[in-house]
């Protein structure tokens, strides 16, 4: 046999110029042995031998950060526990839990009513009749209670409200008609006429000016002034509704003081006209004026309410 040539570093080469076992050399002149020498009948190839001692187990990959090497099962276990849930996964888990709970309740309710499945037809008909009768009784009870509610509302609330409105309207009409006493803010007007030059027409002008300014109740001395009040001159004085009114004339007027007083004191108004007659006039605002002179309620002879 021809002598074997030696490679770099004194390593013996085979007949093909490679390493022992006929393994061809790598592109850089060297290659690691892939298999050990084989026996006869295997065409020079041998099954792989056991891994070198101290190497990684089969199927393991080295960790990129140089840490301990993990197998596929260990990586799967590390990926599943501890669980890493994001918001979408958490919402999906809650929805699945609610769905499962609803299915469990539905199954339980279905199982509870399963007792009727084994009932006879006669029993089922009797149960349906009883349910119909009970439903009819409940409907009758509902109608009866609704009728009582309507009756109570119409007989208590509406009647009470109508009564309140009637009383309030009666009081308002009583104030205007002079049949009830009244109180409120207003003014007091005093006309002192020693010369007795103030006649009925001057007092009527004063009343009309007060009404135009918003007076709601007027009393002159002890006479209540209403819509049908009339004034007349008599010997030595004035009569209001046929009753003699003595000097001085004291007006008690209920209304808005800010409107009543300026209406009397306007240039050329009531105060200046009375002062031209040598009368002394004083106007005072007051927070509370009491008009307590009353008139007898008289029933009209011809007029009737149109609502009757």
Mind listing the pLDDT tens digit for each residue in 69-110? Answer: 778 788 777 777 766 667 888 888 889 899 988 888 877 766
**How much is the average pLDDT of 53-74?**
59
Across the chain, mean pLDDT equals: 76
pLDDT of residue 304: 80
Q: What tokens does 179 get? A: 């049949």
The better pLDDT of the pair 152, 308 is held by: 152
Q: For 276-305, what is each residue's pLDDT tens digit?
A: 988 999 999 999 999 999 988 777 788 887
**How much is the average pLDDT of 33-58?**
45
**What's the farthest any 2 CA atoms get from each other in the chain?**
181
Cα(203)–Cα(246) distance, integer angstroms = 13
Predicted confidence band of residue 117 (pLDDT cuts 50, 70, 90): low
CA distances, 206 to each of 176, 195, 249 (Å): 18, 19, 11
**Which residues, including other chains, have CB under 8 Å from residue 231's CB and lie 6 or more apart?**
200, 201, 203, 204, 207, 238, 239, 240
pTM summary value: 0.48
Predicted confidence band of residue 155 (pLDDT cuts 50, 70, 90): low
Cα(166)–Cα(160) distance, integer angstroms = 10
Predicted confidence band of residue 7 (pLDDT cuts 50, 70, 90): very low
Is the previous residue joined to 248 through a cis bond, with omega within 30 degrees of 0? yes
Q: For 231-282, what is each residue's pLDDT tens digit?
A: 999 987 899 999 999 889 999 999 999 999 999 988 888 999 999 988 999 9
Q: What tokens does 177 get? A: 């008609």
pLDDT of residue 269: 87
pLDDT of residue 290: 94
pLDDT of residue 113: 52
Q: Please report which helix (H) or strand (E) contains residue 218, including its range.
A: strand 217-220
């Amino acid at each position: 046999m021809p002598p074997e040539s030696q490679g770099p570093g004194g390593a013996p080469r085979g007949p093909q110029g490679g390493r022992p076992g006929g393994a061809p050399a790598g592109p850089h002149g060297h290659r690691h042995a892939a298999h050990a020498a084989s026996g006869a009948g295997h065409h020079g190839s041998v099954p792989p031998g056991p891994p070198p001692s101290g190497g990684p187990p089969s199927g393991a990959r080295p960790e990129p950060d140089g840490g301990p090497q993990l197998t596929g099962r260990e990586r799967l276990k590390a990926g599943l526990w501890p669980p890493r849930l994001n918001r979408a996964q958490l919402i999906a888990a809650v929805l699945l839990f609610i769905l499962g709970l609803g299915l469990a309740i539905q199954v339980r309710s279905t199982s509870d009513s399963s007792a009727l499945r084994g009932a006879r037809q006669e029993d089922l008909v009797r149960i349906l009749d009883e349910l119909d009768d009970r439903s009819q009784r409940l409907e009758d009870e509902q109608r009866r209670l609704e009728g009582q509610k309507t009756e109570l509302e119409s007989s208590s609330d509406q009647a009470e409200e109508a009564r309140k409105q009637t009383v309030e309207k009666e009081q308002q009409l009583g104030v205007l008609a002079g049949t009830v006493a009244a109180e409120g803010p207003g003014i007091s007007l005093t006309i002192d006429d020693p010369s007795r030059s103030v006649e009925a027409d001057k007092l009527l002008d004063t009343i009309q000016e007060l009404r135009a300014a918003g007076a709601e109740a007027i009393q002159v001395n002890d006479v209540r002034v209403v819509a049908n009040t009339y004034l007349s001159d008599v010997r030595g004085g004035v009569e209001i509704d046929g009753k003699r009114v003595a000097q001085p004339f004291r007006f008690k007027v209920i209304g808005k003081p800010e409107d009543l007083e300026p209406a009397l004191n306007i240039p050329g108004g009531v105060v200046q006209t009375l002062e031209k007659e040598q009368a002394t006039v004083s106007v005072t605002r007051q927070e509370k004026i009491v008009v307590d002179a009353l008139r007898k309620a008289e029933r009209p002879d011809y007029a009737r309410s149109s609502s009757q």
